[in-house]
Homo-oligomer: A and B are copies of this chain.
Amino acid sequence: MTKPQAYIKDLNEFVGKEVTLKGWLYNKRSSGKVKFLILRDGTGLLQCIVFKGNVSEEVFETADSLAQEASFEVTGLVKEEKRAPGGFELDATDVKLIAASVDYPISPKDHGIEFLMDHRHLWLRSKRQAAILRIRHRIIKAMRDFFDDRGFTLFDPPILTPNACEGTSTLFETEYFDLGSAFLTQSGQLYAEAGALALGKVYTFGPTFRAEKSKTRRHLTEFWMVEPEMAFFDLDDDMDLAEEFLEYVIQTVITERKSDLDDLERDTTLLEQVKRPFPRITYEEAVKILHEKGVDFKYGDDFGAADETIISDHFQKPVMVHRWPAETKAFYMKRDENNPNLALGVDVLAPEGYGEVIGGSQREDNLDLLIERIKEHNLPQEYFEWYLDLRRYGSVPHSGFGLGLERTVAWICGLDHIRETIPFPRMIYRNTP
């Protein structure tokens, strides 16, 4: 029987002891009578030293024969070694091949991105990709912990939906038995509103989909969103929560996954500054900043990626842009009582050019106004009757926001392209492997 083995990340418990580890050959160096095997076991890397004088000829030959990504078992004495990656080394007394690896396709030389994406199932074994996935996991855990510790109930909205949250042009469609078409969700928000009115404070966390023909470094067709929704929260409460949330997630992750961020050579200076309060400016003030920088921007337009970068560079911290021209925003947003042309929405722009990571708003809670908006947006009211019920029976002020997980992973990891933030990214030109 194969027993669960010791792992590299736990070696500090085994200093001076003999231990058996299992994994794959990450790399290898030779120096006459000694082989340096770099073992990879998914939790870290470990240099295993095989001295010709310490092992049988057969074992030395096995060590010599291992190719990149061959799987093997190694037994030896754990030594502290400050200069080694991870701080430990293994003095090997035995090496056993588990299975060979002939002509592993990803050699240490440079490969083009399409080649790496075609071999994504193997590329994930690299130090860099593994570090990103461990950071992604820690980000998700921090997000869930944040809401769990603050009295939110997780609320999983449906993925297959009968209607679109914001228009139907960018939806994946599928046949649904005898009921016609169903669409893959773009957002769990409308359902989360039903959840908030039942449970007070809820959050969704799941995959969402956009069949958008955007071929940019910020777009995936399948991406994960976290969407809190709170009864009795107004826009200011919503911004307070978004701010506390981002600070918590980023400070937790940069502390707890420091070694992975070091492996990515991520300079965390600006991330360390992600602390409350964040600047809060109106859309109008943001437009003023653009005009001061000489950008030819028309009041009433949405910001493009370049505009977002200019605005956030002005602050070097996440910046919250609130009170938008209503026509730029979705039908469900409440209007500002001081100026009905403005929607009570907020976008949070990340620094370092990562753009919008959060979009939120106070929701329209007045039945008549909401029906009016649905008509203005030419949406079929019959699909929204259940949503209107939330305003018919004990309507309350409520707010929420959505955060795009992969953009946040890219930001925290300092990645150029969103495709490395998820195990198997889906883009308009790729749905394999």
**Residues of A in contact with B (beta carbons under 8 Å apart):** 1-5, 7, 9, 22-25, 41-43, 69-71, 98-102, 104, 119, 121-122, 124-125, 129-130, 133-134, 136-137, 140-141, 144, 148, 151, 153-162, 172-179, 182, 184, 191, 194-201, 206-207, 209, 211, 213, 221-222, 224, 230-234, 236-237, 365, 386-387, 389-397, 422-424, 426, 428-433
Closest to A155 in B: B423
With a cutoff of 8 Å between Cβ atoms, the chain B residues found around residue A133 in the complex are: 153, 155, 195, 198-199
By Cβ-Cβ distance, the 5 closest A-B pairs, closest first, are: A42-B200, A386-B433, A71-B394, A124-B198, A121-B194
Find out whether the CB atom of A423 lies under 8 angstroms from the CB atom of B129: no
Find out whether the CB atom of A197 lies under 8 angstroms from the CB atom of B2: no
Find out whether the CB atom of B158 lies under 8 angstroms from the CB atom of A397: no
Query: With A153-B137, A207-B206 in contact, do A222 and B160 touch (Cβ < 8 Å)?
Result: yes
Find out whether the CB atom of B122 lies under 8 angstroms from the CB atom of A393: yes
Beyond A2-B233, A42-B196, 10 additional pairs, beta carbon < 8 A = A42-B153, A42-B200, A101-B393, A121-B191, A122-B194, A129-B198, A160-B209, A162-B432, A162-B433, A184-B184
With a cutoff of 8 Å between Cβ atoms, the chain B residues found around residue A195 in the complex are: 124, 133, 423
Find out whether the CB atom of B102 lies under 8 angstroms from the CB atom of A201: no
Tell me the number of copies of this protein: 2
- What is the bound-complex CA distance between A426 and B234, given in angstroms? 32
Contact partner, A24, options B206, B230, B394, Cβ 8 Å: B394
Contact partner, A134, options B23, B125, B153, Cβ 8 Å: B153
Find out whether the CB atom of B160 lies under 8 angstroms from the CB atom of A426: yes
With a cutoff of 8 Å between Cβ atoms, the chain B residues found around residue A234 in the complex are: 1-2
With a cutoff of 8 Å between Cβ atoms, the chain B residues found around residue A365 in the complex are: 99
With a cutoff of 8 Å between Cβ atoms, the chain B residues found around residue A69 in the complex are: 393-394
With a cutoff of 8 Å between Cβ atoms, the chain B residues found around residue A4 in the complex are: 230, 232-233, 237
With a cutoff of 8 Å between Cβ atoms, the chain B residues found around residue A422 in the complex are: 156
- What is the bound-complex CA distance between A391 and B71, given in angstroms? 10
Find out whether the CB atom of B7 lies under 8 angstroms from the CB atom of A151: yes
User: A424 to chain B: closest CB distance in Å?
Assistant: 4
Find out whether the CB atom of B173 lies under 8 angstroms from the CB atom of A1: no
- What is the bound-complex CA distance between A196 and B71, given in angstroms? 13
With a cutoff of 8 Å between Cβ atoms, the chain B residues found around residue A391 in the complex are: 99
- What is the bound-complex CA distance between A296 and B20, given in angstroms? 50
- What is the bound-complex CA distance between A395 and B69, given in angstroms? 9
- What is the bound-complex CA distance between A397 and B99, given in angstroms? 10
